[in-house]
Amino acid sequence: MAVRPLLLAPPRILTDAELERIHEAAVRILTELGLRVYHEEARQLCLRAGMRVEGERVFPEKRRIEELLARTRRGWEEEAAGPSTSLGPGPEPRLTLSVPMYCEFVHDLETDEVVPFTRERLIEATKFVDTMAGRCVTGAAPGIPQEVPPALHRLEQYRIGARYSRHGRRPVMEELSPRAFPYLMDMAEVLGHPVRGHVIYVISPLALSRESLEGLTAILPRLESVSVSNMLSVGGTAPVRLPQALALAAAEAMGASIVVAAFSGLPVDWGVRVCPFDPRTMAMSLGSPEELLFQRASDEVTAWYHGWDPGPPSGMIHSQAKLPDAQAAAERMCQMTMAALCGARDFYGGGALSLDEVFSAEQLMIDCEIRDHLQRLVRGTETECDPEACLAEVAAGLEGGFLGLESTASRYRQIYWLPRLFERRRFTGWQEAGRPRLGDRAKEMVREQLEQHDYELAPELWRELDRIYARAERELV
């Protein structure tokens, strides 16, 4: 049986000529305006490397930018020349969801209120996420317990994730609490997932923070590479016109890469990202149509600098909705549909609301339903017709009805997706069933999933994490 998947060519926002002009603007921004570096030692290292330094600003010259681009593209070519790890196209593409890791709040199923994450609530959410592995959901602890001192946020999140989730052994090395980095790395070593790379975010516009470089210093001997990224808000921390915002983003990323390389002596990778911004609310408007456009353009700029193809759209799914509702469903369906039809297979942000401030198990269950809907869509449909077999099946159907045919019974589940949440009954059938609401059924499914949780980290590993956490409490708080 020949099945033709449904696949569209990924869209292109920018032409090569437009990318060249963005790069030209980025070079002028960096060489004429410079990058503010809030770290005296880093500025001195840049000065000794031959860069111009005026006050807190570092001005990489054009030659150094060209050398950075040559290293970036050469590194990618060497990586691409290695053995391929791609499995190639399978009989049915699998779409996966991963949960957020930044949430400070959680949607309470019983009260329908949004409340702060506590240890107890985070443990329950982590257990739920763990049980969803069978539905192609990955991730561990989706939030941060708010009663914990800020310096311990990531440590407690990692500790809970490792204890109650099969996917919890990889740490989150975010700049939220740089003083915790060495302890996170110790925990990761215990769990068999040593950290060898680190990400630094540029403070837009055009600034590299002292905390970022101090956090890097604390773990530098244990690293093999560093990455630099940014998240400019178009019209907020960047010009309101997209090409100019992309030029600023490229200048920031290139400048920070040059400074971090001089400071650390390590290979530095980098990329750019610009995000939509609503001046009425003073918040990023992720989940909007502009996010799809801006993210795609960001991917194209990063790909142009690295010398690779931008590939399918990014699998980010965002919404500024605060509770599971029509806005959340519409925004996520729009983002996932475009990306999935253009070849994206992994989606980040399952269960996240209000960008990534709120985690909702109910929303994650709905996201899985949306994902399954799209998986059936991208799988496509069979296209070959055998005239002889067709004639025989039609003749049999005319005789006894198509519903009772063996071919219908045997192939029905191959052809049709059977939803778990979405309603398919006639109106009278729905009425007779008590007029159930989709949200109520989603909550019921969450409770059923939680009852299936059966994982806990080996006691000896848990005790070792406790020991490192206790040391961090003594030394950081």
Residue 119 has pLDDT above 90, yes or no: yes
> What is the per-residue pLDDT across 52-63, written as a single tens digit (0 to 9) for each?
999 999 999 999
pLDDT at 468 over 90: yes
| CA gap 251, 258 in Å, rounded | 11
378 and 340 Cβ atoms separated by less than 8 Å: yes
Which two three-digit tokens encode residue 31? 């060489």
Question: Is the model's pLDDT at 431 over the cut of 70?
Answer: yes
What tokens were used for 444? 């019921």
pLDDT at 75 over 90: no
What percent of the chain is predicted at pLDDT more than 90?
Answer: 86
Distance, in Å, from the CA atom of 178 to the CA atom of 176, rounded to the nearest integer, reads 6
Assign 90 a pLDDT band (cuts: 50, 70, 90).
very low
For 96-379+454-476, CATH gives 3.20.20.480
Output the pLDDT for position 74: 79
How confident is the prediction for the chain on average, in pLDDT? 92
Binned at pLDDT 50, 70 and 90, residue 1 comes out as low
**92-109 average pLDDT score:** 92
Domain boundaries, the chain: 96-379+454-476, 385-415
Position 64, amino acid:
R
Q: Find the mean pLDDT for residues 17-43.
A: 97
* Whether pLDDT at 248 is above 50: yes
% of the chain exceeding 70 in pLDDT: 96
Amino acid letter, residue 172: V
SS (H, E, C) the chain: CCEECCCCCCCCCCCHHHHHHHHHHHHHHHHHHCEEECCHHHHHHHHHCCCEEECCEEECCHHHHHHHHHHHHHHHHHHHCCCCCCCCCCCCCCCEEECCCCECEEECCCCCCEEECCHHHHHHHHHHHHHHHHHCEECCCCECCCCCCHHHHHHHHHHHHHHHCCCCCCCCCCCCCHHHHHHHHHHHHHCCCCCCEEEEECECCCEECHHHHHHHHHHHHHCCEEEEECCEEECCCECCCHHHHHHHHHHHHHHHHHHHHHHHCCCEEECCCEECEECCCCEECCCCHHHHHHHHHHHHHHHHHHCCCCCCCCCECCCCCCCCCHHHHHHHHHHHHHHHHCCCCEEECCCEECCCCEECHHHHHHHHHHHHHHHHHHHCEECCCCHHHHHHHHHHHHHHCCCCCHHHHHHHHHHCCCCCCCCCCCHHHHHHCCCCCHHHHHHHHHHHHHCCCCCCCCHHHHHHHHHHHHHHHHHHC
Mean pLDDT of all residues in 103-132: 97
Q: What is the mean pLDDT of residues 218-243?
A: 94
**Distance of alpha carbon 7 from alpha carbon 5, whole angstroms:** 6
Q: Token pair for residue 345?
A: 């297979």
Task: Label residue 77 by pLDDT band (50, 70, 90).
Answer: low
Higher pLDDT, 471 or 180: 471
Six-digit token string for 335:
């983002």
Is residue 87 predicted with pLDDT exceeding 60?
Answer: no
pLDDT tens per residue across span 437-450? 999 999 999 999 99
pLDDT (0 to 100) of residue 82:
44
Contacts of 242 (CB under 8 A, 6+ apart): 234, 274, 293, 294, 297
Q: Which of 53-67, 165-179, 202-216, 413-427 has the lowest mean pLDDT?
A: 165-179
130-181 per-position pLDDT tens digit: 999 999 999 999 999 999 999 999 999 999 999 999 999 988 777 667 788 9
pTM of the model: 0.92
